[in-house]
């Protein structure tokens, strides 16, 4: 079985500041890792994913994430945030070969001017 | 737009009524997933299909819930005798290779 823990439920940050959203996971098998973003009253949009290879993954909107196998983490970062990045961010895992996604509880990123 | 579509986007119903939601996946995606998301929580898996076969159902999917994908294309999720606890966002996703793409969701409110 897999589980995902997002360590911060809310992250307030000022515009143009850097941000890190933390994600830890637990799994007895190898997994794929994902970050999704959800804007109010909308579905989820894929930001980035780690399947294999380089542990630093770049996604859309200037986000990147680093897979750390020893610490079972997949933290999301952005060097300079914009007001438009205000949204809910979800970390998720799925077992290799596909299957259902297991999500964390989400981190609400609030970017203030 | 060739993304995942869901209909309706919003549904308000009275307790005890039946509701049905529809999901149209991205063309040629053979796997289709349903999730439920309650306020302040991450989505929780309900069930998934590979083509027309329903391969896994969550324990969250009580006997009042049924899902179909009759021809391996669109899918429907029906909730019978709705309860207030069924109020949630119902998300559909379709998958190609290793990535799931989500629709906009159907928000259900049970009064």
Secondary structure string (H, E, C) spanning B21-40: EEEECCCCCCEEEEEEECCC
Local structure of A70: helix, strand or coil: coil
Q: What is the C-alpha separation between A89 and A17, in angstroms, rounded? A: 17
> What mean pLDDT is reported for chain A?
94
User: Average pLDDT for residues A56-72, to the nearest whole number?
Assistant: 95
Name residues of chain B where pLDDT drops below 70.
1
CA distance B15 to chain A (A): 23
**First and final C-alpha spacing in chain B:** 33
| Position A1 confidence tier, pLDDT thresholds 50, 70, 90 | confident
C-beta atoms surrounding B93 within 10 Å: 26
For residue A68, pLDDT beyond 60: yes
* B44 touching A (Cβ < 8 Å): yes
pLDDT value at position B2? 74
d(C-alpha A109, C-alpha B66), whole Å: 35
**What percent of chain A shows pLDDT beyond 90?**
83
Other beta carbons within 10 angstroms of residue B34's beta carbon come to: 25
Question: Closest to A100 (Cβ–Cβ): which among B41, B45, B97?
Answer: B45
Are residues A43 and B104, on separate chains, in Cβ contact within 8 Å?
Answer: yes
Q: Which chain A residues have any C-beta within 8 angstroms of a chain B C-beta?
A: 4, 32, 34, 36, 41-46, 49, 51, 90, 92, 94, 98, 100-106
Out of A32, A42, A92, whose CB is closest to B104? A42
- Residue B1 has what pLDDT? 52
Tell me how many helices (H) and strands (E) chain A has. 0, 12
Which residues, 6+ apart, have CB-to-CB distance to B77 below 8 Å? Answer: B20, B21, B23, B34, B46, B65, B66, B67, B90, B92
């Amino acid at each position: 079985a897999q589980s995902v823990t997002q360590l911060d439920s809310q992250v307030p940050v000022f515009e143009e500041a850097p941000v890190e959203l933390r994600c830890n996971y637990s799994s007895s098998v190898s997994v794929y890792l994902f970050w999704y973003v959800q804007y109010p009253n909308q579905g989820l949009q894929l930001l980035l994913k780690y399947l294999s290879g380089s542990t630093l993954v770049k996604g859309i909107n200037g986000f990147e994430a680093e897979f750390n196998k020893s610490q079972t983490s997949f933290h999301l970062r952005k060097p300079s945030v914009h007001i438009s990045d205000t949204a809910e961010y979800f970390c998720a895992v799925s077992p290799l070969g596909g299957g259902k996604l297991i999500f964390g509880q989400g981190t609400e990123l609030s970017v203030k001017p | 737009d060739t993304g995942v579509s869901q209909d309706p986007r919003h549904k308000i119903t009275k307790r005890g009524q039946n509701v049905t939601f529809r999901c149209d996946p991205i063309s040629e995606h053979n796997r289709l997933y349903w999730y439920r998301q309650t306020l302040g929580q991450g989505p929780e898996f309900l069930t998934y299909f590979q083509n027309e076969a329903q391969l896994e159902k969550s324990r969250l999917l009580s006997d009042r819930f049924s899902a179909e994908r009759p021809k391996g294309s669109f899918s429907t999720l029906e909730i019978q005798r709705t309860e207030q606890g069924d109020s949630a966002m119902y998300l559909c996703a379709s998958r190609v290779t290793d990535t799931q793409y989500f629709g906009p969701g159907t928000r259900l409110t049970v009064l």
